[in-house]
């Protein structure tokens, strides 16, 4: 368990920038808080009563000469302070600037928590169980001491940061989490920093992850449930793409469940490799993602964009329908090689023809032939679904009939005889070529045999890789 003390050194969020109050026109500001505060001026050692306002991300004070002055408090350190004369207050620190405000601070502290960094994590929370451990971070369950409510805590240990890349990636993850405000992504509640680590506080999802859900049950999902789960991922990723970001590490382990017995509410997590899309399609890392889920263009070191997330969602859909990853080998390098080729045979997937068509388009090797998230949501498969369709717990897992395994033919990573002309000759992207027939009952998936030991061992060998360019 991490042993840490309150921050007494310089914050990892600080830089050499000279932070000052800036003049701003009032019509540009959306005021959400107002109040009278005693402002302590350190240079003059006296207090002044002033009216302060807040418009995210600015504290606003009135200037006699030029209207309003604003202070951007994004990633500033905040802590409660107390004075015998003026009572409780907030100290705001950003780089070399310090700002003291004393008064009715309860609502202000609550509002600042979304933007700022606090320093008293172990006074507020008790870490009690390690959930996951990666090269970049650890995730714990923790209890909030005052309310006894449990939360998930993502911990970045400072001594394990990869020089400048580690802090930069962490700050970018925080920035994206603040921007994305929808039901399909984990919600960042608070940020803390100590001398040894940075702590991100999230709501606790008690359902585990999608990988565990598949592993804990002998059967995969019905076709209807699998596609409704994928529809949620597409809706969430669509909103992320609209903000000009991409996830780049979509896989079952990064999909959380609110209820362990149901897929009616999926949450996309772990934005550690998320990146902003720019016109040059510049890559932050030469390789990025997890073998078996990476879009081929990343492994080929080609410029890429948000279509890489569509390929990852396609692989997840393939696993939900078949019970195994299409790229299988005991050797990591061979998984990467198969993944780089990128071709997935859809013909033996047991689902409707419309379902196969959508899956085939999502797993196109060429990103130009893949749909966007919005285009995938407009596919005829989803158009055919009734708006009244809902998740029923009893339809998630069903009894397994005696059927022949469709997994008997495994891909040989050594002797792979692929006709590349056939691979490249994929059908053109046309989502409107089908009419809207009802999905016949014989096409609805009934069950999939249990993942065998070969596949389980293979899953354990697939680890995230990340190499600085």
Does residue 366 share a domain with residue 391?
Answer: yes
Same domain? 243 vs 351: yes
> pLDDT tens, 56-96?
999 999 876 667 899 999 999 999 999 888 999 999 999 99
At 47, list the tokens.
Answer: 């207090």
Residue 290 falls inside a structural domain: yes
The predicted-structure confidence for 425-463, as pLDDT tens digits, reads as follows 444 444 444 333 444 444 444 433 333 333 344 434 434
Q: Which residue has the tokens 């907030």?
A: 90
The C-alpha torsion from 395 through 398 and 404 to 409, rounded to 10°, is 70
Domain boundary among 48, 77, 106: 106
Q: Is residue 15 part of a domain?
A: no
Last residue of a domain, one of 156, 175, 203: 203
- Residues with active-site annotation: 249
For residue 205, pLDDT over 60 is answered with yes
Structural domain of residue 394, as residue ranges? 210-468
Mean per-residue pLDDT for 260-274?
89
- Residue whose C-alpha is closest to residue 160's, from 151, 150, 152, 170: 170
Determine the average pLDDT of the residues in 14-18.
Answer: 86
User: Mean pLDDT throughout 121-147?
Assistant: 92
Helix (H) or strand (E) holding 75: none
The CATH number for 70's domain is 2.30.29.30
12 within some domain: no
Residues with Cβ within 8 Å of 150's Cβ and at least 6 positions away in sequence, in order, are 141, 142, 143, 144, 204
Q: Enter the pTM of the model.
A: 0.78
Q: Which of 151, 170, 203 is the last residue of a domain?
A: 203
Query: Which CATH number belongs to the domain containing residue 140 in this structure?
Result: 3.30.200.20
Q: What percent of the chain has pLDDT over 90?
A: 53
Give the model's pLDDT for residue 405: 30
The whole-chain average pLDDT of the chain stands at 80
For residues 131 and 187, state if they share a domain: yes
What's the rounded mean pLDDT across residues 191-206?
A: 93
Higher pLDDT, 315 or 405: 315
**Cis bond before residue 57 (omega within 30° of 0):** yes
Same domain, 419 and 464: yes
Say which CATH number the domain at 404 has.
1.10.510.10
Each residue's pLDDT tens digit, 217-240: 766 678 988 999 999 999 999 999
Beta-carbon contacts of residue 39 (< 8 Å; ≥ 6 apart): 47, 48, 49, 50, 52, 61, 99, 100, 101, 102
Label residues 35-48 b or e (16+ Cβ within 10 Å = b).
eebbbbeeeeeebe
Residues 30 and 127 in one domain: no
Both 267 and 184 in one domain: the answer is no
pLDDT by residue (tens digit) across 307-360? 999 999 999 999 999 989 999 888 889 999 999 999 999 988 989 999 999 999
* Contact criterion met (CB below 8 Å) for 286 and 301: yes
68 and 153 part of one domain: no
Q: Are residues 288 and 305 in the same domain?
A: yes
Per the CB < 8 A criterion, the answer to whether 286 and 302 are in contact is no
**147 belongs to a structural domain:** yes
Give me the pLDDT at residue 286, please.
Answer: 52
In a domain, 294, yes or no: yes
266 and 400 together in one domain = yes
Residue closest to 366 by CA, chosen among 311, 430, 292, 293: 311
Confirm if 32 and 58 have CB atoms less than 8 A apart: no
So what's the pLDDT on residue 155? 95
Report the Cα 160 to chain-centroid distance in Å.
Answer: 21
d(C-alpha 201, C-alpha 322), whole Å: 35
Q: Which structure tokens are listed for 192?
A: 């803390």
pLDDT digits 0-9 by tens, 93-110: 999 999 999 999 999 999
CA 157 to CA 152: how far, in whole Å?
16
The per-residue pLDDT for 447 is 37
Q: How confident is the model at residue 43, as a pLDDT? A: 67
Q: Which helix (H) or strand (E) holds 319?
A: helix 307-322
* 16 part of a folded domain: no
Classify residue 2: in a domain, yes or no.
no
């Amino acid at each position: 368990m991490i042993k840490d003390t309150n921050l007494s050194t310089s914050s990892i969020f600080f830089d050499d920038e000279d932070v000052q109050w800036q003049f701003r026109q009032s019509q540009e500001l959306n005021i959400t808080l107002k109040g009278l505060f005693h402002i302590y001026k350190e240079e003059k050692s006296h207090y002044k009563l002033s009216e302060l306002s807040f418009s995210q991300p600015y504290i606003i004070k009135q200037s006699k000469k030029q209207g309003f002055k604003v202070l951007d408090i994004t990633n500033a350190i905040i802590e409660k302070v107390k004075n015998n004369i003026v009572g409780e207050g907030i100290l705001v620190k950003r780089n070399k600037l310090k700002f003291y405000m004393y008064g009715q601070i309860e609502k202000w502290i609550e509002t600042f928590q979304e933007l700022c960094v606090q320093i008293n994590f172990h006074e507020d929370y008790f870490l009690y169980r390690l959930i996951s451990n990666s090269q970049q971070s650890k995730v714990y369950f923790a209890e909030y001491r005052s309310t006894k409510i449990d939360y998930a805590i993502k911990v970045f240990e400072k001594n394990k940061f990869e020089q400048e890349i580690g802090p930069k990636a962490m700050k970018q993850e925080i920035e994206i989490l603040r921007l994305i405000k929808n039901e399909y992504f984990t919600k960042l509640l608070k940020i803390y920093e100590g001398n040894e680590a940075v702590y991100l506080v999230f709501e606790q999802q008690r359902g585990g992850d999608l990988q565990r859900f598949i592993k804990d049950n002998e059967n995969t999902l019905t076709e209807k449930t699998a596609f409704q789960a994928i529809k949620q991922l597409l809706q969430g990723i669509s909103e992320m793409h609209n903000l000009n970001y991409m996830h780049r590490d979509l896989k079952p382990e990064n999909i959380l469940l609110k209820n362990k017995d149901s897929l009616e509410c999926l949450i996309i997590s772990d934005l550690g490799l998320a990146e902003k899309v720019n016109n040059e399609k510049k890559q932050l890392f030469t390789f990025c993602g997890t073998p078996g889920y990476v879009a081929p263009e990343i492994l080929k070191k080609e410029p890429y964009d948000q279509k890489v997330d569509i390929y990852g969602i396609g692989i997840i859909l393939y696993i939900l329908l078949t019970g195994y990853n299409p790229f299988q080998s005991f050797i990591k390098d061979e998984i990467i090689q198969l993944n780089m080729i990128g071709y997935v045979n859809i013909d033996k997937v047991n689902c409707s023809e419309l379902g196969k068509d959508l899956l085939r388009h999502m797993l196109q090797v060429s990103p130009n032939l893949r749909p966007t998230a919005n285009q995938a949501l407009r596919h005829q498969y989803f158009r055919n679904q009734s708006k009244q369709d809902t998740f029923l717990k009893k339809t998630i897992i069903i009894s397994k009939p005696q059927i022949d395994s469709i997994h008997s033919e495994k891909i040989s990573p050594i002797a792979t005889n692929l006709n590349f002309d056939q691979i490249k000759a994929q059908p053109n992207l046309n989502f409107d070529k089908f009419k809207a027939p009802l999905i016949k009952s014989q096409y609805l998936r009934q069950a999939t045999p249990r993942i065998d030991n070969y596949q389980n061992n293979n899953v354990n060998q697939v680890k995230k890789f990340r190499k600085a360019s």
